[in-house]
Structure 1
Amino acid sequence: MAETQAPQAPQAPVEVDYTLNNPDTLTKYKTAAQISHKVLDAVTAMCVEGAKIVEICQKGDALLDEEIAKVYKGKKIAKGIATPTTVSPSSYVTPYTPLISDAAEAEIALKAGEIAKIQLGAQIDGFGTIVCDMVVIAKKDAANEVVTGREADLIVATHYANELLLRLLASGTEEEKKKAAAQKPPTQAHISALIEKVAKAYDCNVIENTTSWLFNRNEIEGDKKIILSPSANSTRGDGVPEVGEVWGVEIGLSLGSGKVKTLDHRATLHRRTTTTYGLKRPSSRQTLSEVVKKFGTFPFSLRQLDDEKAAKVGVLECVRSGVLANTSLPVMRTTRPSPNGITKLTAPSAPNLEQFKSDKKIEDEEILKILEQPLARSTGNKNKNKNKKKASE
């Protein structure tokens, strides 16, 4: 008589550690960052006088898809665009990506002398990196011309404001806490006040509600945020960066008042929310289904959907019901606080200050002292090749 074996209890699923304690997590962030940087360089080269913005965005997205397809081949890992290519003319605060089906917007071209903002990003297994840069659109025959005047003021001010913010965020790391145990990390009000001093030194203004967010897996707007120059009606920021976190750091300065106005253009950048709703229209359900399948909770442009014109109709009920949100992504770079300071995962190259000549300068002693501090401290490993560039920078 055959023996009867007792059925085995189902094994519990292995819980994956998605924090930076898992080396694979940081590898995925760095892989996404390398892709973002490579495509940013290519898109920056496309931003020349007369170039149509929609064509630059299309080419940028195609390059992102191409580079993303090269990594983690054959592995069951979700990967894709963390935010589509956007190229924003001077008057746009939030990322701008026009639609092909809108004839007027499709003809918008870059003008010589204006400052355009480029933003894009890749994600591997839900770990997204976003990078942004500014470029002064040069005349066709004057690509290396020295930039002076107000445009130079804005570029230099933004550079120093960003460097200051990163150092202020680094002061919340464990290394700094041990170094000055009695000193608390700077408050958001103090951070905002110092950034505004930098802006004022160059006769610029911080754009209201400039927000830096905590990043998590499949989430680029986490439960902690820092708000600079908050408006009267904005919510307050909450929390400071801690060791082991990844943040999207935003700096937004303006030659104008810094006040944000709503333009008449249709919103073309959206992202999935946590809201659930029984959509009534078939076109709405089809649009949402495609969004969830292709982008998850990451931002997307309507021009990335299979049928842009149909999506313009289908997205209406989705936005009205709250299952999709019009996104106003910040201009950002991705960083992670570590015990040795801040590591830049994505960041554009520092501007060549020889090419941007401002007759203004920072004179505040507190700010100058902070700017002298290194972003990261040496680990003391003398065997490392000192000339080898870190992959995360």
Structure 2
Amino acid sequence: MSDTEAEEISDLSNPDVTTKYQAAAGIVNKALQKVLEACVPDADIITLCELGDRIMEEETGKLYNKKDKEGKKMEKGVAFPTCVSVNELVGHFSPMKGESRQLKAGDVAKIDLACHLGGFIAAAAHTVIVGGEKVEDKRADVIMAAWTAAEAALRLVQVGNKNTQVTEVFAKVAKEFKSTPMQGVLSHELKKHIIDGSKTIMCCETTEDKVDEIEFEMNEVYCIDVVMSSGEGKCKPTEIRSTVYKREVEQSYILKTQKARQFISEVNKRFPVLPFSLRAIEDEQVARVGVSEARRHELLVEYPVLHEKPTEIVAQFKFTVLLLPGGTKKITGLPLGDLEKQCATTCAVQDEDLKKLLSSSANPKKSKKKASKEDKEEKKDDKKEDA
């Protein structure tokens, strides 16, 4: 295979693509772990977000630095800025200076981030109880609901299965833990430079909100996003400033003010297709002024800060999977760790089908050598019988 042909194959049938996904996954897991460890009482959320982004930028900066034949370096870096959303906040909280918050003991914080190498994206999210205290209330129930649903999804996102099976199991798990899957949350297929592919899995299906049924296929990549609520599972945009955006590539418009043009020029150059935080724009004033005009002319897709009812708790786990010939491989996401001891839930899985699914292997391996040895023995027996 020539270099040109290899470059054209941008799915997992190209070993180089698989390597990039796995390398990006290692960076995401490292950044996620570091931010998780820094989620202590009185920690400033903006500092946590900056930490996650910095690690992803530094670590991706160490890899793939050779220029191609055209003299260009590979695009790489943050694919989704670090967000730390607490308690009833569902997601996308990545504040600018002067708009941050501090963590408190007992807070349920969701850390969400992603990076890419050459457009191949690895994403992950994890939930933490700030301060490490043991909880016996709905915080424990909703966290274990989200974790158990994520474990079930991992076993269902297999070649030949359908997205509807995953959505159905989310509802089953939620019921067992007195929780609700969050409406409006989608898991997406990942493709080169595309963080929100057209193939999706719903976290919660309603009569008004449905997606097309799809079958999982070999060499696909998915970001599985599991979000559970202790309440009704309905989220709304808050009045908190949105700071996460993505360039709407199909829209173009020559903006009027100099700062707005400077802003969109920087976005086009540094973040042409993937989400970014306004914190990443070099001049904060340019970011604040430019984003307003760019939004008015629909040059940006907005990721609003979403929330449940103030009295409710939201938990999230997100991971990236590769659908390989040897089976589905989970490449991002952290183990449950201390959360298992902290979450003293009285709920447990009672459904027999669900128990069977969760007890099955998440990473089935084919024993080719053993099979071939057995085949040889069978052939020997056949020859003896023939003789």
Q: 2:146 aligns with which of 158, 168, 171?
A: 158
Shift of 1:276: 2.2
From 100, 119, 123, the counterpart of 1:126: 119
Alpha carbons 1:225, 1:240 under 8 Å: kept: no
Give the TM-score taking structure 2 as reference length: 0.85
The residue number in structure 2 matching 1:332 is: 318
Query: Which residue matches 2:309?
Result: none
Q: Residue 169 of structure 1 aligns to which amino acid in structure 2? A: V
- Greater displacement, 245-254 / 353-362: 353-362
1:182 aligned partner: none
Deviations 1:196-227 (A, max 9, x none): 12111111111112211010000011121111
Contact 1:224 1:240 in 2 (8 A): no
- Name the SS for the 1:253 alignment partner: strand
Structure 1 segment 10-29 matched on structure 2, within 5 A: 16-29=8-21
How far, CA to CA, are the matches of 1:61 and 1:83 in structure 2?
9
Structure 1: which 5+ runs fail to align? 1-12, 178-184, 384-393
* Secondary structure in 2 matching 1:366: helix
Alignment of 1:52-131 (within 5 A): 52-75=44-67, 76-100=73-97, 103=98, 105-106=99-100, 108-131=101-124
Q: Which amino acid aligns with 1:289?
A: S
* CA positional deviation for 1:252: 0.6
What residue in structure 2 maps to residue 149 of structure 1? 137
CA distance in structure 1 between the aligned counterparts of 2:346 and 2:210, rounded to whole angstroms: 36
Aligned alpha-carbon RMSD (Å): 2.2
**Identity, % of aligned positions:** 32
One of 31, 34, 37 as aligned partner of 2:23:
31
Q: Which amino acid aligns with 1:24?
A: D
Number of positions where the alignment pairs a residue of Structure 1 with one of Structure 2: 350
2:360 counterpart (353, 373, 381)? 373
Q: What is the TM-score normalised by the length of structure 1?
A: 0.83
**Which string of whole-angstrom CA distances, capped at 9 and with x for unpartnered residues, describes residues 275-327 of structure 1?**
22223323222212111211221111001001122211111222222221102
Structure (1/2) with the larger helix percentage: 2
Alignment of 1:1-393 (within 5 A): 16-75=8-67, 76-100=73-97, 103=98, 105-106=99-100, 108-138=101-131, 143=132, 145-170=133-158, 173=159, 177=160, 185-186=161-162, 188=164, 190-281=165-256, 282-327=258-303, 332-352=318-338, 353-380=340-367
Q: Could you tell me which amino acid in structure 1 is paired with residue 269 of structure 2?
A: K
**In 2, distance between residues paired with 1:116 and 1:169?**
26
The structure-2 alpha-carbon separation of the partners of 1:158 and 1:351, relative to structure 1 and needing over 3 Å to count, comes to farther
From the superposition, tell whether residues 381 and 236 of structure 1 become closer, same or farther in structure 2 (CA, over 3 Å). Answer: closer
Out of 284-293 and 18-27, give the one that drifted further: 284-293
1:275–1:322 contact (8 Å) kept in structure 2? no
**Residue 52 of structure 1: CA displacement?**
0.8
In structure 2, give the amino acid aligned to 1:311.
A
Cα deviations across residues 254-273 of structure 1 (Å, max 9, x unaligned)? Answer: 11111112211111100112
Letter in 2 for 1:299: P
CA contact (8 A) 1:115 1:151 kept: yes
Shift of 1:241: 2.2
Contact 1:206 1:228 (8 Å CA) reproduced: yes
- The SS at the match of 1:239 is coil
Match of 1:10 in 2: none
